[in-house]
Structure 1
């Protein structure tokens, strides 16, 4: 639950940062005295930079998700083995106790 809150918080902060950067860049472009072609080039550069950052964030998030998936899968497998062993030990103990009472 805490990890979910943490990842939501990181995503929210990142998106807020991108939105702020886009607004700031847009205002800077609108207020700067440049020709139309220069402004379009600047907008394209900013768009490319934003896309690169988004791709990087996406790759990092995907990597973390896959790592968490693998860790969880391993943990479940480990716990399943422990539980299966405990159940088997319980069955064996019950069978031994049944045999004791049959002999009495």
Structure 2
């Protein structure tokens, strides 16, 4: 999730909480009823923020997990590719060594 989206969601939640709070304060209810409504509104907002926080946390964990797996896969590929190249280099060197030995024998005689 981008930083702007997170800020937008937070701004919307804050605006909704402020609007609900003002609506409750100006409603023609008894003080105890108004306090109960305010407490419920705060509890609801707190639950929403906790839920949102856990969603963002899971999203971040998921992204890091995928990035780690991608990185490990690339390392494995690189190592296996280098092993293959190592074998090719050894074969080429052995071939050249055989050619040099053959050349040395012919120049010796």
Tell me which interval the TM-score lies in, with the shorter structure as reference length: 0.7 to 0.9
Moved over 6 A (4+): none
Matched residue pairs, number?
87
Q: What is the TM-score when the length of structure 2 is the normalising length? A: 0.74
- What does residue range 1-104 of structure 1 map to in structure 2 within 5 Å? 17-32=1-16, 33-34=19-20, 35-103=41-109
Could you tell me how far 1:40 is from its partner in structure 2?
1.3
**Distance in 1, Cα, partners of 2:50 & 2:4:** 17
- Unaligned 5+ runs, structure 1: 1-16
Structure with bigger RCO (C-alpha 8 Å, 6+ apart): 2
**Distance in 2, Cα, partners of 1:28 & 1:91:** 75
